C-alpha cells in the first residue's frame, strides 16, 4: 500500500474501527512537546494525582492498603508481581467503563501474569510509540517489519489479520523462533524485497539477520532502513554497533513491558527519554550510584491500575535539563536490565551480565552463547563456535569469568549446535539463579 494511503486513510480507519482514538492522542503528544518542561511537569503531576484519587475511591486492593490515609504517592505500597497474581481481581476498578481487554506476560520465570487493560490505555500506548518513532522520521503507514516471538503457524483468524496488517497497514511480523540459516536468509531476502523503513524487535534476532545480510549482501538489493528500534531485551553496545554498521542507520532502544507499558525511548542523540505523559518512574532504595529497582506507575491504567509496580529492572534517573534533541521529557541515564541479568561474585557482589559479554567477545570463535549461573554460583555456558575450539579457549573463558566475579567458581562449558530461545522467542544471553527474579 502506498504510504500516504496507508497512513492517511487505512490506519486512521483501522484505529476508529478498533474503538481507539490513537490519532487524537498522537496529536496531543506532539503539541505538548512544544509546550516546555514546566507545562509537562504540571500535566504529569495532575495525571498522577487523578490516578491516585481514582485508586483510593474505586480499586478494592488500594482502598484496603491505604486504610483511609490521604492518597499521596508515598502512602501507596510497592506493588509486586506475586500480589498481582494472587489478588489481581481486587486490582480491577469497580467503575471500569467499556470492555476490559485481557493480556498476559510470562516474565523471566515463565509464570504467567494475567492483567486487564482497556482501549484508552491501548490507544495512548500506541500513540506514544508513534510519537517516538516520529523522532526518527517514521510515519504511520510506513513499511515496518517486526521480529517478534509469534509462531509461524497461524489459524484462519490470524491469517486474516496478517493480510490486513501487510496489505493495508504495511506491517509484517516475522517469527523470532527457529532461526535456522535457511530461515535467516529467507528473512534477509524478504527485507530486500519489502524494503521497510522501520525494523523493530529483539536485538539478538535483528543482529543475526543483519549478520546474514553482511554474509549475503546481494539479498538486500541496496535496501537500508530509516531506523532500527530494539525492544524487550537489553541492547548491549556491541550488538547496537554491529546492527548500525551493517544496516547503516540509527539504532534506538525502546524500554517497556506488557504489564507496565511503554516506559522510555531513545532519541536520535542517544538519550533514553521517559514517556512521562504515560508513566511515572521511581528508583527504589538507590545505592550510592543512584541505581535501584525501578517502580513504574502507568498513568493510563484506570481499569486495572498498577501503582509503584516493581517491573524487575534496575536503573537510574537522569538529571533535569533539555536534551540536545529539544525534548523536555525526563530521562533514564542508566538502565541495567532485569535483576537476574546480574551475576553474583565474591562476597555477594553483583556483576552486570554485560561483563560476561566482554569476556566472550574476546574469542572470535564465539558465534553465540548462553550463560546460566546456578544457585551455588557455578556457571553453565553453552557456546556455538564458528571456528576451532580447544582447551586454550575454554581456559580463556574460565579465567575471564573468574576475573570478573573475583571468585574461582566452577565453569562448565559445552559446545552446542543450537541454543533455543525462551518460549517468547527472546534470547537471554546471561541469566542468574543466584538472585531472586
Over 90: is that where the pLDDT of 160 sits? no
Do 331 and 273 contact (CB within 8 A), yes or no?
Answer: yes
109 shares a domain with 40: yes
pLDDT tens, residue by residue, 373-429: 999 999 999 999 988 999 999 999 999 999 989 899 999 999 999 887 665 556 677
Over 60: is that where the pLDDT of 215 sits? yes
- Give the separation between CA 260 and CA 305, rounded to whole angstroms: 10
CATH of the domain at 189: 3.40.50.12780
180 shares a domain with 157: yes
Domain end residue (candidates: 278, 308, 338): 338
Percent of the chain with pLDDT over 90: 65
Residue 154: per-residue pLDDT: 44
List the single range of 3-17, 162-176, 346-360 with lowest mean pLDDT. 346-360
405 shares a domain with 265: no
CATH of the domain at 417: 3.30.300.30
pLDDT-derived band at 22, boundaries 50, 70, 90:
very high
Residue 240 lies in a domain: yes
Residue 437 lies in a domain: no
Residue 268 lies in a domain: yes
Residue 331 lies in a domain: yes
Is the backbone of residue 141 left (phi > 0), alpha (psi -120 to 50) or beta? left
Residue 57 lies in a domain: yes
Domain end residue (candidates: 338, 357, 381): 338
Residue 152: per-residue pLDDT: 44
The beta strands (E) that lie in 207-247 are given as 227-230
Average pLDDT, the chain: 89
pTM across the whole model:
0.80
Q: Is residue 220 packed enough to be buried (19+ CB in 10 Å), middle (13-18) or exposed (0-12)?
A: buried
pLDDT-derived band at 212, boundaries 50, 70, 90:
very high
Task: Write the DSSP assignment of 108-129 as a string of letters.
Answer: TT---EEEEE-HHHHHHHHHHH
Give the total number of structural domains in the chain: 2
Tell me which residue range forms the domain holding 22: 3-338
Residue 427: per-residue pLDDT: 64
Task: Give me 188's grid cell.
Answer: 534477509
Question: What torsion do the CA atoms of 183, 103, 266, 238 make, to the nearest 10 degrees?
Answer: -40
Residue 169: per-residue pLDDT: 95
305 shares a domain with 218: yes
Residue 297 lies in a domain: yes
365 shares a domain with 327: no
pLDDT-derived band at 343, boundaries 50, 70, 90:
confident
Over 90: is that where the pLDDT of 94 sits? yes
Q: Which residue has the higher pLDDT, 422 or 85?
A: 85
Residue 112: per-residue pLDDT: 57
Average pLDDT over residues 302-317: 94
165 shares a domain with 226: yes
161 shares a domain with 46: yes
388 shares a domain with 325: no
Domain end residue (candidates: 338, 363, 380): 338
Residue 341: per-residue pLDDT: 61
Residue 134 lies in a domain: yes
- Give the separation between CA 132 and CA 341, rounded to whole angstroms: 27
| Locus of grid cell 522467542 | 425
242 shares a domain with 137: yes
272 shares a domain with 218: yes
- Give the separation between CA 332 and CA 311, rounded to whole angstroms: 15
Over 70: is that where the pLDDT of 141 sits? yes
Residue 43 lies in a domain: yes
324 shares a domain with 286: yes
Amino acid at each position: 500500500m502506498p504510504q500516504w494511503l496507508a497512513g492517511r486513510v487505512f490506519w486512521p480507519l483501522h484505529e476508529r474501527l478498533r474503538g481507539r482514538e490513537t490519532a487524537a492522542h498522537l496529536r496531543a503528544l506532539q503539541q505538548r512537546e512544544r509546550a516546555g518542561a514546566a507545562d509537562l511537569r504540571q500535566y504529569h503531576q495532575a495525571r498522577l494525582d487523578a490516578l491516585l484519587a481514582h485508586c483510593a475511591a474505586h480499586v478494592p486492593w488500594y482502598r484496603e492498603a491505604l486504610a483511609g490515609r490521604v492518597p499521596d504517592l508515598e502512602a501507596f505500597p510497592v506493588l509486586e508481581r506475586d500480589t498481582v497474581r494472587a489478588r489481581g481481581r481486587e486490582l480491577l476498578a469497580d467503575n471500569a467503563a467499556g470492555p476490559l481487554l485481557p493480556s498476559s506476560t510470562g516474565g523471566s520465570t515463565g509464570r504467567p501474569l494475567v492483567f486487564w487493560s482497556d482501549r484508552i490505555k491501548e490507544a495512548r500506548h500506541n500513540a506514544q510509540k508513534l510519537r517516538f518513532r516520529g523522532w526518527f522520521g517514521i510515519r504511520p503507514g510506513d513499511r515496518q517489519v517486526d521480529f517478534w516471538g509469534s509462531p509461524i503457524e497461524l489459524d484462519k483468524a490470524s491469517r486474516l489479520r496478517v493480510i490486513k496488517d501487510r496489505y493495508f497497514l504495511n506491517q509484517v511480523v516475522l517469527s523470532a523462533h527457529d532461526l535456522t540459516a535457511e530461515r535467516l536468509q529467507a528473512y534477509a531476502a524478504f527485507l530486500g524485497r519489502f524494503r521497510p523503513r522501520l525494523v523493530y524487535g529483539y536485538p539478538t534476532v535483528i543482529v543475526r539477520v543483519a549478520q546474514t545480510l553482511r554474509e549475503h549482501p546481494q539479498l538486500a538489493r541496496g535496501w537500508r532502513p530509516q531506523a532500527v528500534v530494539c525492544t524487550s531485551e537489553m541492547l548491549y553496545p556491541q550488538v547496537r554497533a554491529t546492527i548500525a554498521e551493517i544496516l547503516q542507520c540509527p539504532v534506538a532502544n525502546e524500554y517497556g513491558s506488557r504489564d507496565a507499558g511503554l516506559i522510555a525511548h531513545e532519541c536520535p542523540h542517544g538519550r533514553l527519554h521517559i514517556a512521562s505523559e504515560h508513566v511515572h518512574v521511581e528508583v527504589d532504595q538507590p545505592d550510592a550510584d543512584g541505581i535501584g529497582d525501578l517502580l513504574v506507575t502507568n498513568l493510563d491504567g484506570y481499569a486495572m491500575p498498577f501503582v509503584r509496580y516493581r517491573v524487575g529492572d534496575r536503573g537510574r534517573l537522569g538529571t533535569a535539563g533539555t536534551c540536545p534533541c529539544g525534548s523536555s521529557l525526563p530521562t533514564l541515564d542508566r538502565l541495567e536490565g532485569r535483576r537476574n541479568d546480574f551475576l553474583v561474585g565474591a562476597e555477594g557482589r553483583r556483576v552486570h551480565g554485560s561483563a560476561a559479554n566482554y569476556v566472550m567477545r574476546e574469542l572470535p570463535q564465539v558465534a553465540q552463547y548462553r550463560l546460566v549461573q546456578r544457585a551455588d554460583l557455578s556457571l553453565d555456558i553453552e557456546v556455538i563456535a564458528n571456528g576451532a575450539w580447544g582447551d586454550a579457549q575454554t581456559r580463556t573463558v574460565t579465567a575471564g569469568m573468574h576475573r570478573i566475579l573475583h571468585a574461582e567458581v566452577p565453569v562448565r562449558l559445552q559446545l552446542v549446535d543450537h541454543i533455543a530461545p525462551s518460549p517468547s522467542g527472546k534470547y537471554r544471553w546471561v541469566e542468574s539463579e543466584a538472585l531472586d527474579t
